[in-house]
């Protein structure tokens, strides 16, 4: 009987320890929180440098383990030539840094479970599991920096010398005067066309209209990037000489008139208002529903259709009509003692000879100034060199966000025939200068 009582007491003690352990894990936030919703994106706040945390005992256990998060197209474990090249680069870094182990995890580009969502959720629920380095598109880089999820590179590495990078890539890497990303790959809006149907490359919008063939662009794009490309090509800016937010109503009306003219002549058909992104325009081009379209250069370079060519859009002024964005390596390691190692990895992944090959293999616009020897086709080499040298960087969301939703709505209204250019300008001015609460 006594043995039975002792056994029961011991059982109760073990049970209590198990219950207490579970309670402690939950209270300490070890159990992961649900990922943040991709739809809950606030307006870009003021940039702030993240507070440097004190090194934790957990970090010492994984001192030489570097975790990298990448999107699917930069997965080094694939079978493509670009994947092999990146894997070799990572292996080389580990050989040069004995004891360092690199682990790559692949995350989605957008939607629930995206790179940015995972980064934000992990920083709250399990900061010890944050990646040391993360690849982010420019829009996410801006949000991550504003939320303190990534760290400035200026004090960690001198790699971003202005003379080593194409101007658009260098400018995109800067946020409020600080360097938050090392350029990995670029992309730019271009016009693709089939010469057998469209004829020779036109040098003006008047010539495009004269050929009478529909041209695809996403009229329902919430960022109004087609409009922004044409607006910035006029030489207009989003800030005045005093660095205050500004816009040029005359230039805005010029572009509204161009879109209205294209609509009236059937160049911009009604069904464009159902397109939300440039991939849909690319699909329409591939399906031969149109013979020219405004698309991302990466879509064209990845497929390289034999019957198609690509070129910059015709400009409306003194600047090129080529609006560029890109992907960047960022340091997200919160432990100051390990940030230097993460920065060394970023340096290794930003070497010019590596990027020259990698951009050519992945089908992205070059970011690092070079002879572009990895681009074997002379015509393609000429195209990407010209675009890399002349492209304009996509404006920060802080500048464009207040007006792009209004522009997007008015572009749709014009293509649908609901309003005319003069009315659109008046409505734009009213909605931007007197926004509704």
Average pLDDT score over residue span 58-67: 64
pLDDT at 22 over 80: no
pLDDT band at 354 (very low <50, low <70, confident <90, very high): very high
CA 212, 216, 218, 223 torsion-angle sign: negative
Q: pLDDT value at position 163? A: 75
**Which residue matches tokens 């829009």?**
139
CATH topology of domain 60-187+326-393: D-Maltodextrin-Binding Protein; domain 2 (3.40.190)
pLDDT band at 436 (very low <50, low <70, confident <90, very high): low
pLDDT band at 116 (very low <50, low <70, confident <90, very high): very high
Cα 333 to chain centroid, rounded:
20
Q: pLDDT value at position 42? A: 37
pLDDT at 1 over 60: no
Q: pLDDT value at position 238? A: 82
pLDDT at 59 over 50: no
CA terminus-to-terminus distance, the chain = 76
- For the full predicted model, state whether its pTM sits above 0.75: yes
Q: Which residue has the higher pLDDT, 44 or 362?
A: 362
pLDDT in tens, 228-268: 999 999 999 887 777 677 889 999 999 999 999 999 999 99
| DSSP-based three-state secondary structure for 170 | helix
**What is the DSSP annotation of 27-46?**
HTT-SPPPPPPTT--PPP--
pLDDT in tens, 132-187: 999 999 999 999 999 999 999 999 998 887 678 999 999 999 998 899 999 999 99
Whether 326 and 184 have beta carbons less than 8 Å apart is answered as yes
- Mean confidence (pLDDT) of the chain: 86
**Assigned architecture for domain 188-323+395-433:** 3-Layer(aba) Sandwich (3.40)
Q: Which residue ranges does the chain devote to CATH 3.40.190.10?
A: 60-187+326-393, 188-323+395-433
pLDDT at 25 over 90: no
Q: Which residues contact 66 (CB under 8 A, 6 or more apart)?
A: 100, 101, 102, 103, 132, 133, 341, 342, 345
pLDDT band at 323 (very low <50, low <70, confident <90, very high): very high
């Amino acid at each position: 009987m006594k043995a039975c009582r002792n056994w029961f007491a011991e059982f109760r003690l073990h049970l209590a320890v198990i219950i207490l352990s579970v309670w402690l894990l939950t209270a300490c936030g070890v159990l992961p929180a649900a990922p943040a919703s991709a739809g809950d994106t606030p307006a870009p706040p003021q940039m702030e440098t993240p507070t440097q945390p004190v090194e934790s005992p957990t970090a010492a256990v994984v001192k030489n383990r570097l975790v990298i998060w990448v999107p699917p197209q930069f997965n080094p474990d694939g079978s493509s030539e670009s994947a092999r090249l990146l894997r070799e680069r990572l292996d080389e870094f580990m050989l040069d840094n004995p004891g360092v182990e690199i682990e790559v995890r692949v995350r989605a580009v957008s939607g629930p479970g995206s790179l940015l969502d995972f980064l934000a959720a992990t920083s709250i629920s399990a900061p010890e599991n944050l990646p040391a380095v993360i690849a982010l598109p420019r829009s996410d880089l801006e949000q991550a920096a504003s939320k303190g999820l990534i760290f400035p590179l200026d004090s960690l590495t001198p790699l971003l010398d202005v003379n080593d990078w194409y101007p658009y890539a260098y400018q995109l890497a800067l946020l409020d005067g600080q360097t938050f990303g090392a350029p990995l790959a670029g992309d730019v809006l271009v016009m693709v066309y089939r010469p057998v149907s469209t004829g020779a490359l036109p040098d003006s919008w008047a010539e495009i209209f004269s050929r009478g063939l529909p041209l695809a662009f996403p009229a329902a794009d919430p960022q109004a990037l087609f409009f922004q490309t044409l607006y910035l090509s006029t030489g207009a800016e989003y800030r005045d000489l005093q660095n205050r937010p500004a816009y040029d109503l005359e230039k805005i009306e010029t572009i509204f008139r161009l879109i209205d003219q294209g609509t009236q002549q059937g160049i911009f058909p009604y069904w464009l208002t159902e397109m939300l992104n440039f991939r849909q325009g690319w699909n329409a081009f591939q399906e031969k529903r149109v013979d020219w379209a405004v698309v991302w250069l990466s879509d064209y370079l990845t497929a390289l259709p034999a019957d198609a060519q690509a070129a910059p859009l015709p400009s409306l002024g003194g600047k090129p009509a080529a609006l560029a964005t890109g992907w960047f390596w960022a340091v997200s390691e919160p432990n100051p003692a390990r940030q230097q190692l993460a920065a060394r990895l970023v340096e290794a992944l930003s070497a010019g000879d590596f990027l020259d090959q990698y951009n050519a293999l992945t089908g992205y616009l070059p970011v690092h100034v070079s002879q572009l020897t990895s681009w074997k086709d002379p015509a393609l080499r000429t195209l990407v060199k010209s675009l890399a040298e002349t492209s304009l960087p996509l404006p920060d969301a802080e500048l464009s966000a207040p007006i792009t939703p209004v522009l997007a709505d008015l572009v749709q209204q014009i293509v649908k025939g609901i309003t005319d250019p003069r009315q659109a300008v008046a409505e734009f001015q009213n909605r931007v200068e007197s926004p509704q609460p």
